[in-house]
Amino acid sequence: MKRTKEAAFETREGILDAAEHQFIERGVSRTSLEHIARAAGVTRGAVYWHFGNKAELFNAMMARVRLPLENSLQHIVETATTIEDLERHCISSFVELQGNSRLRRVYAVLLLKCEFTADMQSLIERERAIKEGITSALTRLFTRLQKTGRLHPVLRPRLLALGVYAFMLGLFTDYLRSPERYSMPGDAQRLIRYFFAPLESESSRSRRTS
């Protein structure tokens, strides 16, 4: 029984690996489950045994890299006491994009190779839910930091949360399109510092430099 479960897991992982490469090569809308099955060296029936449709497979592919990132963000949101804590998290996430080939492939599929067609409606809804979850969590964090005097008092936490989300999404997208333009990790540290520096309250800035 244990070996059977291990074999099923290995087959599932092989299908997801093949999907990453096929989506990169062909684009999501032009990749069929037959393409993925052939690339994985399995039957189409094996693909359907693990995944009901392409959208379900796509979501599983995203979950392999998204869940660790989402869990680490949730930890930061719950424990951060300064803007610098979030800044460090954003820097490490951006630097990891360079060093983690799977992360790079999956985000390249999502941001550069994914056409949001009608048959991917569940993906559209999931992306919307993820964005809402991230920005709501950041809003709570910024509200807390503002109350403790760590965030500039004139800033609006909700708009700032949307700004951080859009800024990081833009950095990821531009890096994936033109990685040769970035010198990492130095550029990651400087670019993200440029964004976060104006957000700090005067007292937080003084504590950082003292």
Contacts of 120 (CB under 8 A, 6+ apart): 28, 29, 54, 55, 58, 114
Each residue's pLDDT tens digit, 43-74: 999 999 999 998 899 989 998 888 778 888 88
Half-sphere exposure of 53 (CA within 13 A, CB side): 7
> What b-and-e string marks burial along 27-64, b requiring 16 or more CB atoms within 10 Å of the CB?
ebeebebebbbebbebeeebbeebbeebbebbbebbee
- Contact status, residue 122 vs residue 51, Cβ threshold 8 Å: no
What 32-40 contacts at long range (C-beta under 8 Å, 24+ apart), as own/partner pairs, is 33/57, 40/11, 40/14, 40/15
Domain 1-52 superfamily per CATH: Homeodomain-like (1.10.10.60)
Each residue's pLDDT tens digit, 95-154: 999 999 999 999 999 999 987 777 677 778 888 888 999 999 999 999 999 999 999 889
**pLDDT value for 46:** 93
Each residue's pLDDT tens digit, 164-180: 999 999 999 999 999 99
Is pLDDT of 202 > 60?
yes
- H helix runs in 155-209, sequence order: 157-177, 186-196, 202-209
Could you tell me the residue ranges of all domains in the chain? 1-52, 62-209
Each residue's pLDDT tens digit, 37-47: 999 999 999 99
Q: Residue 72 corresponds to which amino acid?
A: S
Whole-prediction pTM value? 0.85
Is pLDDT of 210 > 70?
no
List Cα–Cα distances, 62 to 31, 43, 56, 69, in angstroms: 16, 22, 10, 11
> Rounded mean pLDDT of the chain?
89
Domain 62-209 superfamily per CATH: Tetracycline Repressor, domain 2 (1.10.357.10)
**pLDDT value for 125:** 84
- CA 198 remoteness from chain centre: 25
**pLDDT value for 74:** 85
**pLDDT value for 168:** 94
Neighbours of 208 (CB within 10 A): 12
Query: Cα(125)–Cα(50) distance, rounded to whole angstroms?
Result: 22
Q: How many residues does the chain have?
A: 210
